[in-house]
A and B are shown apart, each in its own frame.
Chain A
Amino acid sequence: MAELETFYDVIRRQGISRRSFLKFCSLAAASMGLGPAFAPKIAHAMETKPRIPVVWIHGLECTCCSESFIRSAHPLAKDVILSMISLDYDPVIMAAAGDQAEAALEDTITKYKGNYILAVEGNPPLNEDGMFCIVGGKPFVEQLRHAAKDAMAVISWGSCASWGCVQAAAPNPTQATPVHKVITDKPIIKVPGCPPIAEVMTGIVTYLLTFGTLPEMDRQGRPKMFYSQRIHDKCYRRPHFDAGQFVEQWDDEAARKGYCLYKMGCKGPTTYNACSTTRWNEGVSFPIQSGHGCIGCSEDGFWDKGSFYDRLTTIPQFGVESTADTVGLTAAGAAGAAIATHAAISAVKRARAGGTNDKSE
């Protein structure tokens, strides 16, 4: 493998002080819910490990993931995040175009065989042999398969790559298909959201670089550190929900007082994402804070689940993560007690700041 600069080399070359660098490391640790003890570990990785080569390809998508990513409010912001990884191919933000760009892609695939990360934004349409999305004169699905073959792991950015999103909504004329149904032989990290939160995206990249392994994931393939809690669990309007105070109509007195938006169709109770803790735009706000319900954009098939303003009528407990907790609590008797304890311990872990990932104190 060719020599690559480390992240630290790059930022020093850009004239960023060591103090700023260490601050970045501790903020990065905090954003991953890892606690201050992990900051030196992150610093060490940044100083010693070469930047990860990343190939970022685009299928059927709207580029909102890229737009989100480059707005990461991480302490050292956009240009540094882009130096942390070595973004060798990304048609949206690379200078090269046309044949030159395609050559860069081939170059990376050969040079870093088995060592690069493939980031996929959007998904391939499979109908008509993939003719609904052509990149460099070939169907996108071929580029995807080709680039995935020698990748170390695949990141599915956004709801398109993770679930299909709007282009896969019924009746899905182009047969848009999420990445994990096309690439079945590589580890895939799904980072759903339309778009995903910028700090979640950079947090996952930081994790990959720091630990050299994939983060712990749930059964749907989402990193637990950002997707183990529902919007509802950590919503700042939750006390209003608890007290039965609901907005009944847009712009009523309750809406002005910031009451719970469940009755206006908020999907917070069924949506797993970090919006209510990390928030958006440097932690300034998130949809519910600006007075609109969550539309559940990081959940599978959210376009086909009725109107954004329809009230939820069923709320599966623990979502897809239903485990011994849900099955067991309906069982009575002596076995019930042991299962109550198990459910209690996982509930307490889930409720903890930083979620299940909080390894330090």
Chain B
Amino acid sequence: MILSGAFGSTAQRLSAATRMECGVCWAVYEPAEGCATWDIGAGTAFSDLPDYWRCPTCDNDKSVFLPVAGQEADPMADRVAALEDAFRTAEAAFLDTPFHNAALRVEAIGFRAWEDAWLGILITPWFMNVILLPQDPAAWDDLMPGAVPQRHILPAGRFDFEVGRLDHFGTWQACSLFSTMESFADHNTARQTAEACLDALFTAEAPKEPEPPAPPEPVEPIDRRALLRGQFGSRA
């Protein structure tokens, strides 16, 4: 899908519920309703529309559509897009290093809410990391980058995350999966691997059966009188 002009870079930011408006005739595509003209079922996201889909009113193609202004923002999508932008800027520093795999690009995969953060995987041409972003932007301001790794418990085990901070982006936590990325032949393989990593992170390893607690020993009530007479333990 090609979106025109300034929206080219925001294509991935569209959430499934984003309402889109034709830039020519102002017709609005409502994902909740679908599109009767093209026999599109209700609940279809704009980005999932088939390539042959065109504006039912003026017959322009999808590239002229823009998000309707004033919609409720998706804070996670915005934050993840900012993360991608921050690391896209860093790519220049790696072009002349053996870490750079030109077949790959910066892409965030599978971000979801997890505890008080958003967890997902970031693919770049020079690393693949599990990334945590704080839902409250100021929440990790007191963490010192490089000081103490933050330990988090996921279904797959305990993981130590390093704290990172960029002035123009904010704070994140990262746990390295791959670096270099040279073993990935193409971006699709990297993406499949990232998705499989997320599955693996949220799969518990053969959980151990907790042992049933031993039945409590029957306790004989202590006879106060016997105790005072020195007959504790053998009730006469």
Q: Which residues of A contact B (CB under 8 A)?
A: 232-246, 258, 262, 269, 277, 311-315, 317-318, 325-326, 329-332, 336-337, 340-341, 343-345, 347-348, 350-354, 358, 361
Beta-carbon contact of A238 and B90 below 8 Å: no
* B139, CB-defined interface residue at 8 Å: no
* Known pairs A244-B94, A352-B156, A354-B158; A233 contacts B179 (CB<8 A): yes
Cβ distance B205 to chain A, nearest Cβ, rounded Å: 8
Contact with A along B115-153 (1 / 0, CB 8 A): 000000000101111100000000000000111010100
Beta-carbon contact of B179 and A269 below 8 Å: yes
Residues of B within 8 A of A350 (CB): 177
Beta-carbon contact of B176 and A313 below 8 Å: no
Q: Which secondary structure dominates where chain B touches chain A?
A: mixed
Residues of B within 8 A of A347 (CB): 128, 177-178, 193, 197
Most A CB contacts (10 A, CB to CB) among B94, B124, B182, B186 go to: B182
C-alpha gap A246/B93 in the complex (Å): 8
Residues of B within 8 A of A331 (CB): 185
Residues of A within 8 A of B193 (CB): 329, 340-341, 343-344, 347
Q: Which residue of B lies closest to A258 (CB)?
A: B146
* B99, CB-defined interface residue at 8 Å: yes
* B165, CB-defined interface residue at 8 Å: yes
Beta-carbon contact of A315 and B189 below 8 Å: no
Q: Which residue of B lies closest to A37 (CB)?
A: B208
Cβ distance A113 to chain B, nearest Cβ, rounded Å: 41
Q: Which residue of A lies closest to B208 (CB)?
A: A361
* B157, CB-defined interface residue at 8 Å: yes
Q: Which residue of A lies closest to B173 (CB)?
A: A239
Beta-carbon contact of A351 and B93 below 8 Å: no
Beta-carbon contact of A315 and B98 below 8 Å: yes
C-alpha gap A91/B192 in the complex (Å): 56
Cβ distance B163 to chain A, nearest Cβ, rounded Å: 7
Of B97, B157, B189, B197, the residue contacting A352 (CB under 8 A) is B157
Residues of B within 8 A of A352 (CB): 156-159
* B184, CB-defined interface residue at 8 Å: yes
* B43, CB-defined interface residue at 8 Å: no
* Known pairs A242-B87, A347-B197, A351-B175; A329 contacts B184 (CB<8 A): yes
C-alpha gap A305/B162 in the complex (Å): 30
C-alpha gap A312/B151 in the complex (Å): 31
Residues of B within 8 A of A262 (CB): 97
Of A238, A245, A337, A354, the residue contacting B174 (CB under 8 A) is A238
* B69, CB-defined interface residue at 8 Å: no
* B91, CB-defined interface residue at 8 Å: yes
| In the complex, chain B residues 16-66 whose Cβ is within 8 Å of any chain A Cβ | none
C-alpha gap A311/B96 in the complex (Å): 11
Residues of A within 8 A of B194 (CB): 344
Cβ distance B190 to chain A, nearest Cβ, rounded Å: 8
C-alpha gap A313/B197 in the complex (Å): 28
Residues of A within 8 A of B199 (CB): 341, 344
Residues of A within 8 A of B200 (CB): 344-345, 348
C-alpha gap A311/B97 in the complex (Å): 9
Residues of B within 8 A of A345 (CB): 196, 200
* B76, CB-defined interface residue at 8 Å: no
Q: Which residues of B contact A (CB under 8 A)?
A: 86-87, 90-94, 97-99, 124, 126-130, 145-147, 149, 151, 156-160, 162-166, 172, 174-180, 182-186, 189, 192-197, 199-201, 205, 208
Q: Which residue of B lies closest to A327 (CB)?
A: B183
Of B87, B158, B163, B176, the residue contacting A358 (CB under 8 A) is B158
Beta-carbon contact of B166 and A243 below 8 Å: yes
Residues of B within 8 A of A243 (CB): 86-87, 90, 164, 166
C-alpha gap A337/B196 in the complex (Å): 9
Beta-carbon contact of A336 and B157 below 8 Å: no
Of B166, B176, B196, the residue contacting A233 (CB under 8 A) is B176
Other A-B pairs beyond A314-B98, A340-B193, 15, CB < 8 Å? A239-B164, A239-B165, A243-B86, A243-B87, A262-B97, A317-B178, A326-B183, A330-B183, A332-B189, A341-B196, A343-B193, A347-B197, A348-B197, A361-B158, A361-B205
Residues of B within 8 A of A318 (CB): 183
Q: Which residue of A lies closest to B198 (CB)?
A: A344
Q: Which residue of B lies closest to A322 (CB)?
A: B183
Residues of A within 8 A of B91 (CB): 244
Beta-carbon contact of A317 and B183 below 8 Å: yes
Of B159, B163, B164, the residue contacting A351 (CB under 8 A) is B159
Residues of B within 8 A of A351 (CB): 130, 159, 175-177
Beta-carbon contact of A353 and B164 below 8 Å: no
Beta-carbon contact of B182 and A317 below 8 Å: yes
Beta-carbon contact of A348 and B177 below 8 Å: yes
* Known pairs A315-B182, A326-B183; A336 contacts B189 (CB<8 A): yes
Residues of A within 8 A of B180 (CB): 269, 315, 317
Cβ distance B209 to chain A, nearest Cβ, rounded Å: 13
Residues of A within 8 A of B176 (CB): 232-234, 238, 351
Of B92, B98, B186, the residue contacting A244 (CB under 8 A) is B92
Residues of B within 8 A of A344 (CB): 177, 193-197, 199-200
